[in-house]
């Protein structure tokens, strides 16, 4: 019996990653046949992947077609509330449980941002790695699972707030304070620094929204 190709098993991950990486933006139409050709898999796993993404509200039906969902003002507000609560907890737990090596990786990611200040796209990719590393450093698998769900919706932001003038340097400083608190094993300070970081990011998005 022929074994199933890895790509067929991973169709969901492939489409999700493409949305997360901005290959497909909110409002873009996803066509089953085109996706199958693009990723080199059969249409059946692509169809199943699209159905799964629709049930997770990452895709929206427009007539007979599926498009990448977008977040309205209220959905964005709700997402930041949940994200702040969960990531604040992750930062607190990371201060308690992160290994020396995990903290060193967080510090290296912050230092790496210094060379990316003028490249919002690259800084955005590094930002995702930073937050993912922080989630893992909490050493709480259930929290990480919930944050994975939250970050699927974060992928629906059409742009990165790091593209806003001055936001890159400020975000770097905020990340620096988060890591400093984790290094000091100060859970309360790590929680506060993370929540402040997301509050400022949310304010930046609100200002950007008001200008459009």
What CATH number has the domain bearing residue 168? 1.20.120.530
Q: Would you state the pLDDT for residue 15?
A: 93
pLDDT in tens, 116-138: 888 888 888 899 999 999 999 99
* Domain finish residue from 47, 68, 89: 68
* Domain finish residue from 53, 68, 83: 68
pLDDT in tens, 20-63: 888 898 999 999 999 999 999 999 999 999 999 999 999 999 88
Distance between CA 23 and CA 25 in Å, rounded? 6
Evaluated on CA atoms 16, 22, 23, 25, the torsion sign reads: positive
Q: Tell me which H or E stretch contains 16.
A: helix 11-20
Q: Are residues 135 and 179 in the same domain?
A: yes
Phi-psi region of 2 (alpha: psi -120 to 50; beta: other; left: phi over 0): beta
CB–CB of 98/112 below 8 Å?
no
Q: Are residues 22 and 115 in the same domain?
A: no
Q: Are residues 105 and 159 in the same domain?
A: yes
Range of the domain at 168: 73-210
Q: Are residues 170 and 95 in the same domain?
A: yes
Q: Are residues 49 and 77 in the same domain?
A: no
pLDDT at 1 over 50: no
Helix ranges (H only) for 155-186 are 167-183
Q: Tell me which H or E stretch contains 29.
A: strand 29-30
Whether residue 1 is contained in a domain is answered as: no
Q: Are residues 142 and 51 in the same domain?
A: no
Name the pLDDT band for 162 (thresholds 50, 70, 90).
low
Q: Tell me which H or E stretch contains 61.
A: strand 59-62
Distance between CA 169 and CA 23 in Å, rounded? 26
Q: Are residues 35 and 88 in the same domain?
A: no
Distance between CA 151 and CA 133 in Å, rounded? 13
Select the more confidently predicted residue: 38 or 159: 38
Q: Would you state the pLDDT for residue 85?
A: 97
Q: Would you state the pLDDT for residue 116?
A: 87
Domain count, the chain: 2
Q: Would you state the pLDDT for residue 54?
A: 93
pLDDT at 165 over 90: no
Q: Are residues 107 and 16 in the same domain?
A: no
Q: Are residues 106 and 157 in the same domain?
A: yes
Name the pLDDT band for 156 (thresholds 50, 70, 90).
confident
Whether residue 83 is contained in a domain is answered as: yes
Q: Are residues 132 and 202 in the same domain?
A: yes
Give mean pLDDT, residues 148-158: 86
Q: Would you state the pLDDT for residue 52?
A: 92
pLDDT at 209 over 80: no
Give mean pLDDT, residues 198-203: 92
Distance between CA 10 and CA 40 in Å, rounded? 11
Q: Are residues 39 and 114 in the same domain?
A: no
pTM of the entire predicted model: 0.83
Distance between CA 116 and CA 169 in Å, rounded? 10
Whether residue 190 is contained in a domain is answered as: yes
* Domain finish residue from 48, 68, 88: 68
pLDDT at 2 over 50: no
What CATH number did the domain enclosing 24 receive? 1.10.10.10
Name the pLDDT band for 74 (thresholds 50, 70, 90).
very high
Helix ranges (H only) for 56-166 are 73-97, 100-113, 120-137, 141-154
Q: Tell me which H or E stretch contains 65.
A: strand 65-68
Q: Are residues 31 and 135 in the same domain?
A: no
């Amino acid at each position: 019996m022929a074994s199933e190709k890895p790509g067929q098993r991973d169709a969901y991950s492939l489409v999700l990653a493409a949305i997360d990486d901005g290959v497909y933006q909110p409002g873009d139409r996803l066509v089953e046949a085109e996706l199958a050709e693009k990723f080199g898999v059969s249409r059946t796993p692509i169809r199943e992947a699209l159905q799964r993404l629709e049930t997770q509200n990452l895709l929206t039906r427009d007539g007979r077609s599926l498009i990448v969902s977008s977040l309205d003002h209220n959905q964005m507000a709700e997402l930041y509330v949940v994200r702040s609560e969960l990531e604040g907890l992750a930062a607190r737990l990371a201060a308690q449980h992160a290994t020396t090596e995990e903290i060193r990786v967080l510090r290296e990611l912050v230092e790496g941002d210094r060379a990316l200040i003028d490249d919002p796209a690259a800084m955005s990719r590094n930002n995702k790695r930073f937050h993912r590393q922080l989630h893992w450093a909490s050493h709480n698998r259930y929290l990480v699972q919930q944050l994975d769900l939250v970050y699927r919706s974060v992928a629906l932001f059409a742009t990165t707030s790091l593209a806003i003038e001055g936001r890159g340097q400020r975000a770097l400083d905020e990340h620096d304070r988060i890591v400093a608190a984790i290094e000091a094993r100060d859970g309360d300070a790590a929680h506060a620094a993370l929540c402040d970081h997301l509050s400022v990011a949310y304010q930046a998005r609100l200002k950007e929204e008001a200008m459009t």
